[in-house]
Structure 1
Amino acid sequence: MMKGDSTTVISTSSAASASAPAMTQMPAISRLRWGIVLILLLAAIVNYLDRANLSIANTTIAAEFGFSQTEMGLLLSAFLWPYALANLPAGWLVDRYGPKRMFAWALCLWSSFTVLASFVNSYSFFYGLRMMLGISESPFFTSGIKITHRWFGDRERGLPTAIINTGSQIANAIAPPILTVLLLTLGWRGMFVAIGLMGLPLLLAWWKFYRDPDAREDALLHAGQRSVAQPEEQVRTRWGALFRYPATWAMVIGNFSIMFTIWVYLTWLPSYLEKSLGFSLQATGWIASIPFFAGILGVLVGGILSDRLVRRGVASITSRKIPIVLGAALAACFVAPIPFVHSTPLAITLLALGYFFSQMPQGALWTLASDIAPKEQVASLGAIQNFGGFLGAAMAPIVTGVILDMTGKFTNVFLLGAILLFIGALSYGLFVRRRLQS
């Protein structure tokens, strides 16, 4: 008995001594991983400024080249279709070659294509570069999900994922004033060069500071947080096998439905404010930023809420689904009545609340993909989900334009958006239930 007791004491003291240096490592690990999140946040802002520059320079470019409104509409959508389709191979490439190399290449290429766009002299050249911009940006968010999966445990992954996703909302909020100033001072070509060059210091910082966690760091970061099935999920599965699961299709349909309404905001909100609410062109830029600032809070609330639920013992998949389903359903409730109110302040309030709740899912969508996917397919499943979302994004400006041509009003646009938001809530709520098995 005494012998067994001494063995226990020795074992316990050995474990304690082994954990001591591990605990001293945590501050350094924490600084490194949050520094990586900061770089990704800044890259997300630049990423979306590169997308928004054409919208800001729309009328200036159309006047210089003599493009029709139809030609400009097609040019504005040239980014979205290639981006949506390129997400499918991008996720596989990130899983195959790792996020460091794929993100570095993506940042280098999208910055280069933005700078090259300043030298265009024809419509076809411009259109081709916008397509290449969409393709080159596709590995960004899939790299982000892979990185947060590696550097953060199950109970804390929602917040960093949400922070990275706030980059798009920050960019949407600050793009009109910043890009307008650059446009007025540098011209549209100079604006494209300035935005493109913003990626260079981020590329250098990324290549210098990013690395994957080593084995010891990985054990510290995920101690006690991996499920029993995790070792089996480390076996590499075929990319196409993910489409066998109903949950994958539910995520595609759900994100399609949510992103449709988000991109109605992104592409048609200024027009609605000007034509339906009677704001001047100067006032529209400032009023249009209100929902986007609300969206920043929405993304963060979704991520924080999901992490808090996990820490309280709620199953991780359920914890991610709650802000997705709740956010989409409440967004529908605020979006539907917008065309029927006659008070301008109330309409703006509903717009802001609708966008706030539509962004709550964005703080948890990517984290949900990392929670249910086999370990080696995290980026792939996230990319497939994002593919569905950007199909909805690509459809939004086109369908909205058709409805406006047919009716001259935004009523059916908002009602359709509300219906799709409910469909998104139902898709995630009813059909995404458990971890996918490899």
Structure 2
Amino acid sequence: MKDVTSSLNVPLVKKAAPAVSRLRWGIIFILLIAAVINYLDRANLSIANTTIAREFGFSQTEMGLLLSAFLWPYALANLPAGWLVDRFGPKKMFSWGVGLWSTFTVMAGFVNGYSMFYTLRVLLGISESPFFTSGIKITHRWFSDKERALPTSIINTGSQIANAVAPPILTVLLLTLGWRGMFIAIGLAGIPLLLVWLKFYRNPSEREEQSIHANAQRVQPSVVEANGNNRASWAALFKHKTTWFMVIGNFSIMFTIWVYLTWLPGYLEKSLGFSLKQTGWLAAIPFFAGILGVLCGGSISDRLIRRGVNTITARKVPIVVGAAMAACFVAPVPFVHSTALSIGLLSVGYFFSQLPQGVIWTLASDIAPKEQVASMGAIQNFGGFLGAACAPIVTGVILDATGQFTNVFFLGAGLLTLGALSYGLFVKKPIQVTMQK
């Protein structure tokens, strides 16, 4: 991949050596592939939703609970995962994560009942928790603040690529191998990725890091540099209202995103009357729009910074605008009777809901003290996946009670608006923490 800094007409950093430039973008490419595989492991249950429910006789509420079984432990495990990445480094934590999530996905292909299935989805959630926290730590080390949003967004694009290709690819695997064969095949895909990561990744040297960050705008003074080797208390981040509004904002945005991820195939089948084979292709359309949304969000944010906009404001613009516009396009869906228009609204709504995704992670690295970047990102992601965990359960309950998706879309639009307000009005400046002696 070409180093984006070489094409800019402004002095971002001292020119990195070609080998270093290739290395850091090579790392981003590996993380992009990892994100695709990571999300395929999450999405397989959504694609096999109706097939598994029929085989085991699960109700809509039971399927909602099973679809959320990954999300609750993932959300909770993000809290220690961020601290662990800060403590032991991204290479070690990412390696353990890939190995374990691949193993649990393969094992899910051999389940014979609800409790075993639920347990493996819980373990999958725990094992995937170090991935994005590792990614934010890596981009913080290898990229300056003026160029960090784009590589962070590229990593997050992996999830959207997976969501776009998951419906057709996983549907083909489901129809040819059965749902058990689909789980096994996707789980095994993580093994070569792990081997490449172990051989390829390293942290930047001190000299490389100084070169990368030489001309970066400091968002805040480094409290670590000012206080020697002291470390801030992890719990101290929760004493700041900024942290809580980032948690609330991400909760609200991620709720609607995970309604898409867990129930879109079911919506297309039940409400619009498509077959399983047709659903596999139609469900991909909004997610292709999501790929563009993530990349646009990161590009807009970096461009605003290069034009002199305050760093925090530049991160907030795509977050707030994206969430607010997504609400505007999601709310009308229940009143539309044209299939083409429904898919169009869902696609544009998902585009805007993804505009904040890479920037939300980058905002965490700009808000937090240098030594707590992964911890802050993990705390924010914890809030997001609490919302994600609620989404399939609440949707299942609403469907059992009403038989339609109308109230699901209304709730999603309301929460997207809350997310825009939380980031827009209450996240204003970097966090300064008190150091422990």
Q: What's the TM-score, normalizing by structure 1?
A: 0.91
Amino acid at match of 1:434: K
* Alignment of 1:430 onto 2:425: yes
Q: Can you give the 5+ residue segments of structure 1 that lack an aligned partner in the other structure?
A: 1-21
Once the two structures are superposed, what CA deviation does each residue of 1:208-245 show, in whole Å capped at 9, x if it has no partner?
11111111101111112142743324542111000001
Partner of residue 237, structure 1: 232
2-structure distance, mates of 1:383, 1:205: 25
| Mean Cα deviation higher: 266-275 or 345-354 | 266-275
Partner of residue 410, structure 2: 415
Match of 1:307 among 302, 306, 321: 302
* Alignment of 1:357 onto 2:348: no
Partner of residue 116, structure 2: 125
Q: 1:268 to 1:62 in 2, by over 3 A?
A: closer
* Alignment of 1:265 onto 2:265: no
Question: 1:331-410 to 2 correspondence within 5 Å?
Answer: 331-410=326-405
1-structure distance, mates of 2:305, 2:391: 34
Partner of residue 167, structure 1: 158
Partner of residue 289, structure 1: 284
Q: 1:67 to 1:337 in 2, by over 3 A?
A: closer
Partner of residue 31, structure 1: 22
2:60, 2:400 within 8 Å by CA — same for their partners in 1? no
Q: 1:223 to 1:141 in 2, by over 3 A?
A: same
Partner of residue 14, structure 1: none
Q: 1:403 to 1:127 in 2, by over 3 A?
A: closer
Amino acid at match of 2:177: L
CA drift at 1:23: 6.5
1-structure distance, mates of 2:219, 2:391: 42
In terms of Rg, which structure is larger?
1
Q: 1:123 to 1:319 in 2, by over 3 A?
A: same
Q: 1:281 to 1:115 in 2, by over 3 A?
A: closer
Secondary structure (helix, strand or coil) at the match of 2:247 reads: helix
CA drift at 1:52: 1.5
* Alignment of 1:53 onto 2:44: yes
* Alignment of 1:211 onto 2:211: no
CA drift at 1:190: 2.6
Match of 1:138 among 122, 129, 139: 129
CA drift at 1:194: 1.6
Partner of residue 77, structure 2: 86
Partner of residue 7, structure 1: none
* Alignment of 1:274 onto 2:269: yes
Which protein, 1 or 2, shows the higher relative CO under an 8 Å CA cutoff with sep ≥ 6? 2
1-structure distance, mates of 2:25, 2:164: 24
Q: 1:145 to 1:225 in 2, by over 3 A?
A: same
1:301, 1:363 within 8 Å by CA — same for their partners in 2? no
Once the two structures are superposed, what CA deviation does each residue of 1:383-426 show, in whole Å capped at 9, x if it has no partner?
11111111111111222222233333322221211111111001
| Mean Cα deviation higher: 398-407 or 170-179 | 398-407
Match of 2:213 among 222, 232, 247: 222
Q: What's the TM-score, normalizing by structure 2?
A: 0.91
1-structure distance, mates of 2:236, 2:19: 38
2-structure distance, mates of 1:264, 1:255: 14
Q: 1:368 to 1:354 in 2, by over 3 A?
A: same
2:326, 2:348 within 8 Å by CA — same for their partners in 1? yes
Match of 2:243 among 231, 241, 248: 248
2-structure distance, mates of 1:242, 1:228: 17
| Mean Cα deviation higher: 112-121 or 31-40 | 112-121
CA drift at 1:24: 7.3
2:253, 2:353 within 8 Å by CA — same for their partners in 1? yes
Secondary structure (helix, strand or coil) at the match of 1:187 reads: helix
Amino acid at match of 1:268: W
**Higher fraction of helix:** 1
Once the two structures are superposed, what CA deviation does each residue of 1:145-187 show, in whole Å capped at 9, x if it has no partner?
0100000000100011001001111111111221222233333
Question: 1:146-165 to 2 correspondence within 5 Å?
Answer: 146-165=137-156
Question: 1:182-201 to 2 correspondence within 5 Å?
Answer: 182-201=173-192
1:335, 1:351 within 8 Å by CA — same for their partners in 2? yes
CA drift at 1:291: 0.7
Partner of residue 319, structure 1: 314
2-structure distance, mates of 1:159, 1:169: 15
Partner of residue 96, structure 2: 105
2-structure distance, mates of 1:97, 1:247: 26
Amino acid at match of 2:241: P
Secondary structure (helix, strand or coil) at the match of 2:304 reads: helix
2:258, 2:391 within 8 Å by CA — same for their partners in 1? yes
Once the two structures are superposed, what CA deviation does each residue of 1:315-345 show, in whole Å capped at 9, x if it has no partner?
1111110000010011111111121233332
1-structure distance, mates of 2:84, 2:120: 22
What percentage of aligned pairs have identical amino acids? 76
Amino acid at match of 1:269: L
2:60, 2:397 within 8 Å by CA — same for their partners in 1? no
| Mean Cα deviation higher: 401-410 or 248-257 | 401-410
2-structure distance, mates of 1:395, 1:84: 11
2-structure distance, mates of 1:228, 1:182: 47
CA drift at 1:62: 4.2
Q: Can you give the 5+ residue segments of structure 2 that lack an aligned partner in the other structure?
A: 1-12
2:32, 2:157 within 8 Å by CA — same for their partners in 1? yes
Q: 1:156 to 1:404 in 2, by over 3 A?
A: same
Q: 1:117 to 1:381 in 2, by over 3 A?
A: same
